[in-house]
Amino acid sequence: MNDEANNRVLVLGSTGFIGAHFVRRLAGLGYQVQALAHSESDASHANVHHVRGSLHDAPLIRDLVSQCAYIVHAASLTTPSVSASSPGLEINGNLDALAQLLSLAGEFPQRRLVYLSSAGAVYGNTTESADENAPLRPKSYYGAGKVAAEAFIHACTATSTWQATILRPSNIYGPGQRMRRGFAIVPTLFSHASAGTTFELWGNGDAVRDYCHVSDLVDLMVETIRRSSDAPCIVCNAASGETASVLALIAACERISGRKIAIAFRPARNIDATYVPLATELTRATFGWTARTSLDEGLDQTWRSLLATDFHELASSRE
């Protein structure tokens, strides 16, 4: 592979919340980015080539993989609630496209793949901090899809020259994240705080999660590209180590925003894990990474971003 290709990164899901942050960081570091997404992007940078297309477009994916040494898979067509009643969406929407990508390993050797899994979805309930060797007991079809994807990637690296890093992020949040039904709790809470509307809380609010700021995750993703390894496949948690119950998170969002959030309690959903603390020792040892953004600092950034976005949209509507 020539030097030019060694500096190229293919990002799948480049206009998503995490993907967009990652593309901007890569471009600023001088990498040449092939940014693939279903939707168009209004962001522009000399180092970024935006490609609108589908993960299921085999000729397009083949062409992009031929050009790039690194492939970062940050795309998902589902959330836990979306596939709860339609498990086939995980197969047809996510796994089929991943399998198609991995089938290119024989034709284009020595690629390095970074795949975003989900710590909150693959471990299920735990009684102590889950490390990367903990049993995988997903409670949702979304989590089962992530477990299957990890298995496919392990098989690919065992039978080809591709190397992979599988990152298992905790609940990622930060500026630019949009509300999605049953997903993205931080912008959802702030949106309810801003609008004075009622937040539907599934369960009693004692479910504990780790919350990791998107800038910290992007730092780790960059390190997975910068640091070489002889291991065919590495699996690492991506977590801040700072946990909070849903009720504690609501209280923090109220404190940051200075606004009360009305709550309507609903029956707990069986797809939600109740306690998912995460160990990060392996990630720190492998990539020298530790999350740096405290929850209060990250929530403050997110709230200020929401206010700025609302003001910008309001100002634009009046022009």
Q: What does 96-126 look like in DSSP terms, one character per residue?
A: HHHHHHHGGGTTS-S-EEEEE--HHHHS-S-
**170 lies in some domain:** yes
Selection from 237, 270, 243, 278 nearest residue 126 by Cα:
278
C-alpha–C-alpha distance, residues 1 and 136, integer Å: 36
Domain hosting residue 106, numbered range: 76-318
**6 lies in some domain:** no
Q: Is the dihedral of CA 34, 83, 98, 61 positive or negative?
A: negative
pLDDT tens, position by position, for the chain (319 residues)? 555 567 999 999 999 999 999 999 999 999 999 999 998 887 789 999 999 999 999 999 999 999 999 999 999 999 998 999 999 999 999 999 999 999 999 999 999 999 999 998 999 887 788 999 999 999 999 999 999 999 999 999 999 999 999 999 999 999 999 876 667 899 999 999 999 999 999 999 998 999 999 999 999 999 999 998 889 999 999 999 999 999 999 999 999 999 999 999 999 888 787 888 899 999 999 999 999 999 999 999 999 998 887 644 433 433 3
pTM over 0.85: yes
Which two structure tokens, joined as six digits, stand for 305?
């971003």
C-alpha–C-alpha distance, residues 3 and 6, integer Å: 5
**204 lies in some domain:** yes
Residues 6+ apart with CB under 8 A from 315: none
CATH number, domain containing residue 132: 3.40.50.720
**182 lies in some domain:** yes
**49 lies in some domain:** no
| Confidence (pLDDT) at 308 | 87
Query: For residue 275, what are the β-bridge partners?
Result: 208
- Number of domain units in the chain: 1
**53 lies in some domain:** no
**45 lies in some domain:** no
Beta strands, E only, the chain: 8-12, 32-37, 48-52, 70-73, 112-116, 163-169, 171-173, 198-202, 208-213, 233-238, 243-245, 262-266
Residues 6+ apart with CB under 8 A from 138: 121, 122, 123, 124, 144, 146, 147
Query: Which residue shows structure tokens 């990622």?
Result: 172
**113 lies in some domain:** yes
| Confidence (pLDDT) at 165 | 98
